[in-house]
Amino acid sequence: MRALAKTSAGRGLELVERPEPKTGPGDVKIRVLRAGLCGTDLHLEQWDDWAASTVRPPLVIGHEFFGEVVEIGVDVSTVKVGQKASGEGHIVCGMCRNCRAGRRHVCIRTSSVGVNRDGAFADFVVIPESNVWVHPDNLDPDVGVLFDPLGNAVHTALSFPLAGEDVLVTGAGPIGIMAAAIARHAGARFVVVTDISDYRLCLAKGAGADLVVNVNNQALSDAQLELGMKEGFDIGLEMSGSPIAMQDMLRNLNHGAQVAMLGLPKDPFPIDWSKVITHMITIKGIYGREMYDTWYAMSSMLQTSASLSETVRSVITHRYPAEQWQDAFSTARSGECGKVVLDWS
């Protein structure tokens, strides 16, 4: 089979021929039809310090995918050959305290598809039955491939009640854009998105943001005045990993505001803890998706709202055949894009 792999330590990837992965008794083999590029994949291709300390080549990368089930293990009972599916990319131990308490998304022994085990930038990927998310047969593959990053957006956005609230999203990458769409769908009053890329802010506006702010050109406080806001934002969704964005968010929050942080900063940075304390601001870290409440929530929302489904699909701005993976990675690195998808069909 074709596979995009990190064949050795160092920069770069190779499209190679590898044997098909074997299916164990409790496993499911999926023929990959679409695969999405994530920031994690860019880190692995560039072989930065995080990648070098985490990954052991050779490894097939990629964890955002949609495909068709082609083989099941002898112990599999809930998944059938021919079904369309995506996969939860975090393989958990099932036995640590968090797993046994139903908090599998914070398992202390998580193994990640495409990082710690072979992933989905290939013709086939194998994952445990419990990690398979079966889709309706008529689901658009361009929606199915987004379930992993959409899950990040849903987990972050639905961390706090949104109805009637003023919501600030810092970072207009694909996940930030989808989080803005979820906030709009969930009944937020105002949804404001900040970034430094006009291209991505345009995508956010199309996804339902009331106002988009290029913080290189406009102060967030001025945006509040434009909307007639008098007390600051009630909910903050930090998607950028930027220290400057986080500091700007804290300056523009209402007392008692709640913040969910998904964006990963490159380095530690200081924040004004006195403001967090005296303004009674709640800050919650977000990692991945709640297994599997988030999956149920996003499936239900998409099934009941054609407009939300189309908005989510709109974050895909570039599609490439698998053989043009270098162009796909170059586009993703440029920042002048939304979600970039590889076609493996």
Q: Among all residues, which ones are annotated catalytic?
A: 40, 43
| Partners of residue 190 on adjacent β-strands | 166
For β-strands 233-238 and 253-261, DSSP reports them as parallel
Euclidean distance between CA atoms 255 and 253, whole angstroms: 7
Q: DSSP states of 42-87 as a string? A: HHHHHT-HHHHHH--SSEE---EEEEEEEEE-TT--S--TT-EEEE
Is 193:172 a contact under the CB 8 Å cutoff?
yes
CB within 8 Å of 328: residues ≥ 6 apart? 37, 318, 320, 340, 341, 342
CA diameter of the chain: 62
Euclidean distance between CA atoms 262 and 78, whole angstroms: 32
Euclidean distance between CA atoms 315 and 205, whole angstroms: 11
What is the token pair recorded at 252? 């523009």
Is 214:231 a contact under the CB 8 Å cutoff?
no
| CA neighbor of 97 nearest in space, from 108, 89, 105 | 108
Is 86:30 a contact under the CB 8 Å cutoff?
no
